[in-house]
Amino acid sequence: MTRVVTVEPFSLKRFMDKHKYEAVISVPIPVGLYLLFVTFTVFLPYSIAALLAGTRGQLEWGVFYLILAAFGASLGVKMIVTASLQLMISKSLKSMQFARTKRLCLQSISLLSHWPLVRNAQLVFFEVGLGAVCMGRADYEEAEKLFASALERYKNHMQRFRFGKKARHTPNLVLLNSHISRACSAQGKYAEAEQLANVSLALAQGLEKTKNARIVVFPLYALAYTHLRSGALEQAEEEYKRVFNIYAETPEPSAYGSTTFAPTLMASSLGLAFISIKKERADESIKYWTNFADRASQPVQPMSPSFLRAMNVLANEYMNNKLFAEAEQVIEMAYSLAMHHFDHPDAKDTLSYFEKLLLLTDRQVEVGDMRAWLRISQHAPH
């Protein structure tokens, strides 16, 4: 019996959509594959030209064409290696495999920094990846250093290639400044964080009439996060709402997939849920919490442990307002996340808030079972 296999025709657009780089800085992986294609359109013609020149006795031209062909081949190898590393890091970071991401980033920087054809802009990707790992592990001081180093590296790249359009660098500058701002906020350095977020916002506002207009949500979220942490709830609420409005009113940038914005929208929902309950607007708070929970339930990518702190304080506010059913929903989601990141500093706070909930609802007998996972996790291989 003959088995018939139907092969779907290759589509470059579908391939690019599938492997669209969705993380911290816009250096799309398909660009490397596209340049690889261009490289081999150079390599093959020059190789043939060198062969023909050799058969005709034109040795000088043959050597010249061979040099050009070798350059094309080396450029192609560089593109293959860089694109492959970016793809692996993007996937491991997206799945919250922090140890693997860190190892890949360090190995990539060590390998590629010695290659003469690798530019600073490509190395920025790996530094930002390391910064994202540090943010996920609550090592905010180290994250700030890595993001700042990446920004400096990128500015040096801009100085070296001044002939390019400055506007094409703006989205990356917006993202890098926004990352540093959030790292500063998490350390309580609110003045620095606000200044960096405003620099990022000013850059992003220059993109209002471009295809990257939606990028403004990142500095707006950074500002809201800073104001929330510093207690300026009125400003934070306004900025969180602007994040949703701008997201709804602007098209998706071609260099960023839809899931790129998902963590920002989820964090904004948590922020608004917390602000609303603090202002005794329980129904509104629950609406925002439901929005977050709905997004979290979509199997797009695992949740980052960075959400733990926000969920912990929201659950605590619900308990303070005697909304025990809602508090349990929040703390159970935080608990399931903490189980996978038991060594995160906020995971222990999750246990404490869960214990508080059990005590307030007369379920003291469940406390031992609730804390059992910590003992299991500490002895499990990882």
- Please tell me the predicted confidence (pLDDT) of residue 268: 95
Question: Of 203, 209, 200, 292, which Cα lies nearest the Cα of 251?
Answer: 209
Residue whose pair of structure tokens reads 């088995």 in the numeric block = 3
The SS3 call for residue 363 is coil
Residue 79 φ/ψ, nearest 5 degrees:
-65, -40
Question: Of 155, 200, 193, which Cα lies nearest the Cα of 177?
Answer: 200
380 in a structural domain: yes
How many domains is the chain built from? 1
- Please tell me the predicted confidence (pLDDT) of residue 301: 62
- Whether 113 and 320 have beta carbons less than 8 Å apart is answered as no
- Please tell me the predicted confidence (pLDDT) of residue 47: 58
The SS3 call for residue 331 is helix
- Please tell me the predicted confidence (pLDDT) of residue 287: 96
**Cα gap 192→184, rounded to integer Å:** 7
199 residue type, one letter:
V
352 in a structural domain: yes
108 in a structural domain: no
Q: What is the DSSP string of 215-275?
A: GGHHHHHHHHHHHHHHT-HHHHHHHHHHHHHHHHHSPPPTTS-GGGTHHHHHHHHHHHHHH
- Whether 341 and 305 have beta carbons less than 8 Å apart is answered as yes
The SS3 call for residue 116 is coil
**Cα gap 175→12, rounded to integer Å:** 27
pTM above 0.75, yes or no: no
For residue 374, give its domain range. 309-382
207-218 burial, b if ≥16 CB within 10 A, otherwise e? beeeebbbbbbb
354 in a structural domain: yes
**Cα gap 332→1, rounded to integer Å:** 53
**Cα gap 335→350, rounded to integer Å:** 6
119 in a structural domain: no
pLDDT by 10s per residue, the chain, length 382: 333 333 343 333 343 344 343 334 444 444 445 455 555 555 555 555 656 656 666 666 666 656 666 666 655 655 665 666 666 656 655 555 656 666 766 666 666 655 555 455 667 777 787 788 788 888 899 889 889 988 888 887 777 655 455 667 788 899 999 999 999 999 999 999 999 999 999 999 888 888 888 999 999 999 999 999 999 999 999 999 999 999 999 888 876 666 778 889 999 999 999 999 999 999 999 999 999 999 888 766 667 888 999 999 999 999 999 999 999 999 999 998 888 887 788 988 998 999 999 899 988 888 877 777 655 554 444 4
**Cα gap 32→277, rounded to integer Å:** 47
330 in a structural domain: yes
